Amino acid sequence: MLRRASLRYHLRQPWQAALAVLGVALGVAVVVAVQLANTSAERAFQRSAEALQGEATHRVSAGTAGLDEALYTELRRAGIRPCAPVVAGYVNAPGGDPLRLLGVDPWAELGVRDAVASAALEVDAGRWLSRGGMAVLFKPEAERLGLGAGDLLPVEAGGRRHELEVAAVADPPDELTAEGLRNTVVVDLATAQAVLGRLGRLDRIDLVIPDGEAGAAVLEQVKARLPEGAVLKEAGEGAAALDEMTAAFRLNLTAFSLLALLVGALLIYNAVSFSVVQRRPLLGRLRALGVARGQLFRGIVAEGVLLGTLGTLAGLPLGFALADLLLDLVTRTISDLYFVLSVRSVTPAPGVLAMAAALGVLVSGVASAGPAWEAATVSPRTALERASLEAKARRLAGPLGIAGLALGGLGAALLWGYGGGIVAGFAGIFALLVGAALIVPWAVRQLAVALARPAGALVGTPGRMAARGVASGLSRSGVAAVALVVAVTAVIGVSVMIDSFRTSLTTWLDSTLSADIYVRAPAQTGETPPPLPEGLAAELAAVPGVTGVGTSRRLRAPSEYGEIRLRAFDHGPEGDAGIVYKDRTAQAWADYRAGEAVYITEPFAAHHGLAVGDTVAFRTPEGERRMPVAAVVRDYATSQGAVYVSRTFYAESWGDGVINGVAVYAEPGADLEALIGALRQAAQGQGQALQFRSDAEIRARSLAVFDRTFAVTRVLQLLAAIVAAAGVFGALLALALERTGEVAVLRALGLTPWQVWGLELSRTGLLGLMAGVLAVPPGLLLAAALTGVINERAFGWSLQLSVDPALLAKAVALAAVAALVAGLYPAYRAARVAPAEAMREDG
Amino acid sequence: MSKALMQLSGLSKRYPEGDTERVVLDGCDLDIRQGEALAIVGPSGSGKSTLLNLIGAMEVPDQGALWFASEDLARLSERARTLFRRRHLGFIFQQLNLVPTLTVLENLLLPLELNGTLDADGRRHALALLERVGLQGRDASFPEHLSGGERQRVAVARALVHGPGLLLADEPTGSLDRETASVVLGLFDELRREQGMTAVLATHASEVAAKADRSLELRAGRLQEVAPA
């Protein structure tokens, strides 16, 4: 019977229930979307890693320099099998689509990657041996590219064009393999070496080593044959490292999705508490009839859970649809920042759906517990009036504010007082946000009371009424303000963080891009750019208008910290002018130039706990070289970090003269477009298409990648703001409904509907304005936490906090406008209140 | 006999009720005389509040006219009716009387401010009225800190503060105990008579009706004179 009464109540207040359902639906949808996008990207990556790893247990590699192919012959001769050599890299298909070129020995693949072996062996052994340039495509890829056996597949790698002949189209053995080998073209080793410019070199040799003593003996045999600079490691390590690269990025997204759910929970709280307030007299009568407190408590919580369940049910499919949009943004960000990733569709993950569903229902239950307790404590003798409820809300505001301060303090301690990890950082942010939310009702009341007099002086009684209305309806206006403050805090925090990041990046780009034109061969993200032709730097230096050139060599090299990114620079005429130091020794530059020390980037220092004075050991073809760290430098190019070495040290240790970037310094006032034309002319005849980019173009492209990276964050921020606006709308509508009688009296006394509009909108605008102002301090704290703590813990970057007052003003204005927009309908309803409603109802 | 302040002729009002209509007022005729206290009595649901809403220009009749001076309130625009209420009427409701976000004094000053007549004299007049209803020193209190009787006394003062021509009271003592009701009613009657104001009271309390100069009973949508006891 009680359930029936409760159901009927909500059917009679459908808008309130609908808003609560919408809030949870949006919150759950965002969580589902982010998690599905994350898991789909992760799964695509894992599938690909698994398919490429096959049965291999171990892997021999030597970073970008690669292995001499003679090592493979030596290992086979020593009877170490299965043993499969691999040359792999990315090429561009027509239209610029990246394709993974997998160069293998078809027969050696047996027992390592059977799917690849059987595909490759569809081609005659004779044809493999007699002709180069043949490729095997898997059916889905062939269909996508519209190719069949015998067709030509033009590809471009490192600025050179090649034509491959599709020798066969193979059926993948199963769905998983098909997914894992998506975008893959199988070629023989020699073809891959020719296309990728790695003649005589192998990227790695995959091994299948049995467990136990026999395996250990084989490993010893392998180790004994490894040249200097080569390392033997477990096959899964590389994939795990790549996966770890994106972990912080994915965690950031998860945190944002939980914020949206938190705001959604406020909506449930609002809806359930409103329903309790409205039914207080009824609840009092039920208590008088003998309904126990526990029964009322359970009944109200059940209502919240029911609303939450409905919201969750709506949120799951909505999240699935939203995941499609997010997946594109997430994949693009990973491809921009980390490595080429191709994910075509969202993978349904029952675990994610179950987790989001449980979270939606649980959060709804927790959010309704407060109002349920309120309902359970209704006195059976008297139904409390609204005024006494507000008095109670006012009494609670102080202690809640103190609890908020304590929680905020705990958050600050987690963020700044104790060096925990990124999860502790997010816990600190959560505590900070909840702490700020708890302080809001008290602060709103103080502000509203303080503003009543000046508002009255400014616009008379309506101004006073607007300010006092905010203070007196604290149980409603407090919830609306909390929803707004949380959302605007997030907007300020994230916007200031993005702004600070952009400013830091721009400052760094301005310093580091000291040359005028940069030359390199095209390469995919995460791939080392291919070598430039020998003598290119000298040819470019001789072009009229060029005052000097610098060169760079980028590679991955084995070290005591695994495979690391190494940058070998010949800094050109500007010396270290382009380097932004964070910390260094007095002799840093001299030691670095002399090849007696290295520089490390901030993220590298953060990930490996290194500082100036520590050392880094490299495995070079000349043996292990341990070098002191002379400086920690700012570098926003990669969050995994890198080590800078001088060209002198590189030449000594790696013994090659390879370069893959040239920085060209032009005469002051030179026409860069014309100079690029002249440089192109000089580089012609090398047979390699090169990229010539001015410093301005690189800056613009870097900032474009930056903006794309944060596009997903902005989408999530917007969604959280929408949920908050729904919360404000619900709270204001509830407030307007409760104030019907008061408005009717005012109308009877002679207030026109327009004056009621003005009064209501002043109230909501004031509430929004106050929420905006109150969101500034926690917003700045959040920005400081995101820039100074989260970024440093997640990526190792220290960012300079830069606060643009215009941005803060915009955020405050946004809060006021959001409240005004959310208040339009409630104000419209209030203005339509008939003065006759002031009369008693039974006449 | 004094002249009529307001004339109601052939007033009808119906409300939809499911698929049918409920006739609340069915051709009521009434002259409200200048300076009189008129009680409208009748059982719950008889249409007393509806009649008061029409007299107070808060609703318009389906048929009939309400003449005030030379104007038919039934034909006025919404805005004109609002201005009419603001200038010429004073209200006392059963419960929802005071604006909770205004102090006692501000509640009294509100009609003056709405009429654009709030000045130092108006403020003095409001304070004097507060003293008359026995609430001197409570001008800065908010309604939530007053008892039910005190709130109704403020409501009486507010209804009179701008010197309206007609006072409308809907069950003015309905939410009060007998003793408090008697005090409030006495005060209302005394002040009304002092200022020579006309009043219409909707009530089903016999002691309220007894204070009136004339009583009319609303029955089946029509008004009938009740003989004095």
What are the domain boundaries of chain A? 1-54+241-384, 57-234, 433-513+698-843, 522-689
* C-alpha gyration radius of chain A: 33
Min Cα distance B169 → chain A (Å) is 9
Q: Is residue B119, in this structure, part of any structural domain at all?
A: yes
Q: Is residue B221, in this structure, part of any structural domain at all?
A: yes
CA-CA-CA-CA torsion sign (A706, A709, A710, A714): positive
| CA-based nearest residue in chain B for residue A742 | B99
pLDDT, residue A196, reads: 87
CB contact under 8 A, A745 and B93: yes
A383 — phi, psi (to 5°)?
-90, 120
Res. A841 pLDDT band, cuts 50 70 90: very low
Cα A709 to the center of its chain, rounded Å: 7
A515 — phi, psi (to 5°)?
-80, 175
pLDDT, residue A633, reads: 93
Residue carrying structure tokens 């090398």: A686
Q: Is residue B201, in this structure, part of any structural domain at all?
A: yes
CB contact under 8 A, A840 and B58: no
Question: Which range of residues forms the domain containing residue B118?
Answer: 36-58+76-226
Q: Contact, A220 vs A207, CB < 8 A? A: no
B167 — phi, psi (to 5°)?
-105, 135
First to last CA, chain A: 31
Task: Tell me the three state secondary structure of residue B187.
Answer: helix
pLDDT in tens, A309-326: 998 899 889 888 888 887
Give chain B's domain count. 1
| CA-based nearest residue in chain A for residue B85 | A750
Residue carrying structure tokens 């609703």: B59
pLDDT, residue A842, reads: 40
Q: Does the pLDDT of residue A41 top 50, yes or no?
A: yes
Which residues are CB-contacts of A7 (< 8 A; sequence separation ≥ 6)?
none
* Rounded Cα gap, residues B146 and B158, in angstroms: 15
Strands (E) in A667-770, as ranges, are: 691-694
CB contact under 8 A, A835 and B85: yes
* Rounded Cα gap, residues A200 and A687, in angstroms: 20
- Cα dihedral value A180, A184, A188, A189, nearest 10: -80
pLDDT, residue B199, reads: 92
pLDDT, residue A246, reads: 67
Q: Which two tokens stand for residue A421?
A: 């990890």
pLDDT in tens, A551-592: 888 888 888 988 888 989 887 777 888 888 999 999 999 999
pLDDT, residue A277, reads: 66
pLDDT in tens, B4-63: 889 999 999 998 887 888 889 999 999 999 989 999 998 888 888 889 989 998 889 999
Q: What is the mean pLDDT of residues B70-99?
A: 86
Q: Is residue B12, in this structure, part of any structural domain at all?
A: no
Cis preceding-peptide flag for A348 (omega within 30 of 0): no
* Rounded Cα gap, residues A19 and A271, in angstroms: 8
**Which of A465, A471, A843 is nearest residue B170 as measured by Cβ atoms?**
A843
Q: Contact, A764 vs A823, CB < 8 A? A: yes
* Rounded Cα gap, residues A503 and A254, in angstroms: 25
Query: Which chain A residues are Cβ-neighbours of B52 within 8 angstroms?
Result: 839, 843
CB contact under 8 A, A839 and B144: no
CB contact under 8 A, B93 and A460: no
Res. A389 pLDDT band, cuts 50 70 90: low
CB contact under 8 A, A750 and B87: yes
Q: Is residue B105, in this structure, part of any structural domain at all?
A: yes
Orientation angle between helical segments A474-512 and A711-738, nearest 10 degrees = 160
* Rounded Cα gap, residues A824 and A764, in angstroms: 9
CB contact under 8 A, A745 and B50: no
- A836/B contact by beta carbon, under 8 A: yes
pLDDT, residue A384, reads: 46
Reference B132, options B174, B195, B86; nearest CA is B195
pLDDT, residue A792, reads: 81
- The residue of B101, B108, B162 whose CB has the most chain A CBs within 10 angstroms, and thus the best one to mutate to test that interface, is B101
**Which of A464, A469, A748 is nearest residue B91 as measured by Cβ atoms?**
A748
Question: What's the CA angle centered on A583, arms A581 and A586, to 5 degrees?
Answer: 95
Task: Tell me the three state secondary structure of residue B24.
Answer: strand
pLDDT in tens, A597-620: 999 999 899 889 999 999 999 888
CATH number assigned to the domain comprising residue B191: 3.40.50.300
Q: Contact, A394 vs A421, CB < 8 A? A: no
Q: What is the mean pLDDT of residues A72-81?
A: 89
Res. A843 pLDDT band, cuts 50 70 90: very low
Q: Is residue B28, in this structure, part of any structural domain at all?
A: no
**Which of A742, A835, A843 is nearest residue B202 as measured by Cβ atoms?**
A843
The pairs formed by A236-242 with CB atoms below 8 angstroms and a separation of 24 or more are: A236/A49, A236/A53, A237/A59, A237/A562, A238/A49, A238/A59, A238/A61, A238/A563, A239/A45, A239/A46, A239/A49, A239/A50, A239/A53, A241/A562, A241/A563, A242/A45, A242/A49, A242/A338, A242/A339
* Rounded Cα gap, residues B184 and A352, in angstroms: 67
Q: What is the mean pLDDT of residues A90-113?
A: 85
pLDDT, residue A773, reads: 93
Q: Does the pLDDT of residue A2 top 60, yes or no?
A: no
* Rounded Cα gap, residues B142 and A471, in angstroms: 13
- The residue of A449, A461, A476, A742 whose CB has the most chain B CBs within 10 angstroms, and thus the best one to mutate to test that interface, is A461
| ipTM score | 0.81
CB contact under 8 A, A839 and B47: no
Statement: the pTM of the whole predicted model exceeds 0.90: no
Q: Report strand pairing: A58-61 vs A231-234.
A: antiparallel
First to last CA, chain B: 21
Q: Is B116 exposed, middle or buried (0-12, 13-18, 19+ CB in 10 A)?
A: exposed
CA-CA-CA-CA torsion sign (A489, A495, A499, A500): positive
pLDDT, residue A129, reads: 67
Q: How many CB atoms lie within 10 A of CB A37?
A: 29
